[in-house]
Every structure is written in structure tokens, then in C-alpha cells.
Copies of this chain bind each other. A is one copy, B any other.
Amino acid sequence: MSRALFEPVFVPDALREATGDTAWLGAMLEAEGALAVALARAGLVPEAEAEEIRRCCEADRFADRLDPEELGREGRAAGNPVVPLVQALTEAVSGVSEEAARHVHWGATSQDILDTAAMLVARRSLDLVLADLDGLAAALAWLAREHRGTVMAGRTLMQQALPTTFGLKAAGWLVPVLEARRSLLDLRRSGLAAQLGGAAGTLASLGNSGLPVLREFAQELDLAEPPIPWHTARWRVAELGNTLALCSGTLHKLAVDVILLSQTEVGEVAEPSGGAGSPRGGSSTLPHKRNPILSTTTAANAQRVAGLAATLQGSMAAEHERAAGRWHAEWEVLSDALALTGGATAAMREAMEGLEVHPEKMRANLDATGGIVLAENVTTLAAGHLGRAEAHELVEAACRRALERGTHLREEVLAEPVLQRILSPEEVEAALDPEGYLGSAAGLVDRALELYDTEVSS
């Protein structure tokens, strides 16, 4: 399975690390350490022994010396790497204290450690994603404010439809990014829960102390305390996947728009070229190419995250007290979903922070269609006299003639007998000015910016 060759193309190093072998091992050991502490607080294990275990679990003492691949191979027989990890930890602790070693992993099952570790890995990864989302939101807010009045073509089904502003387009990118941010924040705050249930979810081997240990365990790790173990109630993981997919899907829309606006024939924006030191978007064969490579990376990542989220969704139908396969399918899939969402966020942040915007090209593209995108305005004007149906029909016919003859819509409207009778040349001229037909664009930008100020700045 190819990793180091392709991964860095799509995922920044910080996220690769946060979702990598060492991070997972560290998180599992953190869970084992917290368990020891919780056992001590509940009075099941002497504090000194718990402390010995906890210290063995610290990364610089132990985790760094473990060979993930060896643990993985040893874990094949049990179906997960926790069994060999617990063996290694027990050995390490017994080197310090035989007594303490007897209490390693007490009360827990492999899934307790792995699920809890998954939550810790998710939390650290989400922090990175959220930082980039903040940067992206700031860049989009700046673009929306800066280009509040920059007129461009609004396009539906890829056809020029009506004038809009680049500010409103940026606001249309910003609002769902804020939504994704809010969802991820909510999830980070209350959706990540500790897992502790023991072999069958009853906390049986902890006798009467199961609930106190669970409470202390969750508190020590600063994770939510679940009402009951969730070994086979996987909505937390599915929802995490779904929220990552919503975030990536939102970024995908931004990427699609940037790619479309960057087309050679459109040329309204360009991704930052990356500077002399690290030119970006070059091609192995085409020296002139300036590919929208950050958006391309984002699109690729988002496509994959959607598939990964669907796989996590598929894990919900877990059997009895532990699933035979559906749980095992989650680990790498969740890792990849976190990393790729992070990669998409970092790429779009970079793209938007350095986006080149070409207002003059936006205006030129709009003007190239001979007033035709303002047909609706003429229709509305005429509808006041004729009703919408007749107005629509007459203006549509004028448009068709303008397109066929290559004339400006103004001429065709003024040459149409009925329209000519009810509309003055001045009215038609005004109706065909894009700046005069932006409706509530500016007001909508302001609403998006207010939302940004409320949610982020404050």
C-alpha cells in the first residue's frame, strides 16, 4: 500500500503526523495511562503503581521505542494491535514494578483502548483542521468585503444568467464554511467520548467500581462521559465521518468554482502561483500551464472523504456487543478521512489567501454577451405593463434574435413593436446596466459578514 509517495501530495505533514502510527500508539498509551490513574482514583489500584504505569505510557519513555509494524504483524492473530501493545506495556511496567504490571489494562478490552485512542487522534486532527478553517474563513471574509461591489456574471447550469458580485460569490463560499466550522467545533466539544466497557460492556471485572472508573477515565482524558459503552452504537464515528464529509463537500464546491473561474477562457481568478521559490501548478510537459492545483487536490480529497464517510456509515449495523468486521473497518478509514479533510482545508486556505482576482475580466465576460444576461430585468420592466407571460415571450424572442444576429439586446428590444411602445430607450438602457440590477447582493454580503463577525471574531 503506497503511502509516502502519494500522501504528501494531498496531506500536509502536520496532519500526516497527527493521524500517523506514532500518534495512534501515543493515544493508545495515553488511554492506558489514564485508565491506571482512574483505577487509582476509584481506589482499585495504589496511586504509586498507577503512577508507574502512567509514566511508562509517556511517549518519550516508551512509545517511541515501539515498532508499529511489528505490533501490527503480531496483532494479526487477535485482529487488532492492542493485544501485543498491552503485552509490551506490561513487560515494560514489570521492569519497574511487578505489582504495577498486574494492573495494566485492568477492566478494559481492546476496543476500549482503540476507540478512546480514535477520539484522541480525532481531537488533535480536528484542532489542525479548525485552525485552517479559521484561516480560510478569514480569507473568504476579506474577499467578500473587498469585492462587495465587483460585478461579475452569475452562472446557472454554467450559462451566464444574471449579474452578481464576486463579493456575493465569496459570501456564498463563506457561509457554509462557517457552518462546517460550527459543526466541527460542536463535535470536538461534545461529540468525542471516552470508551470503557470491558469485555462485554458491563465493566464486569471492575466489580462495583465500574461507573466511578468510567467517570475518572473520561475526566482524565477530557473526553465526554458516555451514558453507556458504545462498542456497537457507532453513531459517534459515523457522525464524525459525516461531518468531515460535510466539511470536505463544502470545500469541494469552492474548489469547483475556482477551477471553473480559472479556465483559460474565463480567467476571472487564478490560484497563487507559489512564488519564485516554489512554483506551483506546473506541468511536466507544458511550460505555460498554470494549473489550479490546490483546488484539484481539494477536489480529489473531498471525493475520497465522501467514500470513506460512507464506509463509516456502513459500520453502524454492528452485531451484539462487538462487531465482527464493521469495527475493524473503521480505524484506517477514520484516519484517512481526518487527514484528507485536513489536506483539503489547508489547500483551500492557501488558495483563497492568495487568490488572484481579475475584476476587469469579470466585467469583460459580462459585457461580451450583449446585454443578454439582463433580459430578466427587461422582462420585469415589461411585465409591469403586460404580465409576466407575455413579457417573457417577447423578451425571449428578442434575445433569440440578438444571439442569431450578433446584435446587442438593446437594439432588438427597441425594434420590437410591442416593447417599443411601452418602454422608453432610457428605461431600456438603465435596465441593461448590470450595476443597476444587483438586487440585494450587497445586503446579502453584509449578512454573511455579520455572521462571520458573530461566530468567529467574537
Q: B211 to A235, Cβ gap below 8 A?
A: no
Bound CA–CA A402/B103 (angstroms): 27
Interface residues of A in 1-18 (CB under 8 A from B): 1-11, 13, 16
When distances are taken between beta carbons in the complex, the residues of chain B under 8 Å from A307 are 307-308, 310-311, 314, 333
Bound CA–CA A346/B86 (angstroms): 27
Q: B260 to A158, Cβ gap below 8 A?
A: yes
- With both beta carbons as reference points, the residue of chain B lying nearest to A161 in the complex is identified as B200
When distances are taken between beta carbons in the complex, the residues of chain B under 8 Å from A232 are 172, 253
Given A262-B158, A289-B159, A448-B227: A329 in contact with B317 (beta carbons within 8 A) = no
Number of copies: 4
Given A158-B319, A285-B205, A448-B228: A9 in contact with B79 (beta carbons within 8 A) = yes
Q: A259 to B155, Cβ gap below 8 A?
A: no
Nearest chain B CB to A169's CB is how many angstroms away?
8
| A443 touches B (CB below 8 Å) | yes
CB within 8 A of A439: which of B24, B82, B198, B331? B198
Highest count of chain B CB atoms <10 Å: which of A2, A289, A313, A389? A2
| A279 touches B (CB below 8 Å) | yes
Q: B7 to A1, Cβ gap below 8 A?
A: yes
Bound CA–CA A88/B205 (angstroms): 59
Q: B324 to A295, Cβ gap below 8 A?
A: yes
Q: A155 to B291, Cβ gap below 8 A?
A: no
Given A90-B389, A210-B439: A68 in contact with B4 (beta carbons within 8 A) = yes
Determine, out of A33-41, A366-374, A420-428, the stretch whose residues face the partner at the interface. A366-374
- Give the top 10 A-B pairs by smallest Cβ distance, nearest first: A299-B325, A154-B200, A249-B316, A287-B396, A156-B322, A204-B439, A210-B440, A288-B399, A8-B72, A307-B311
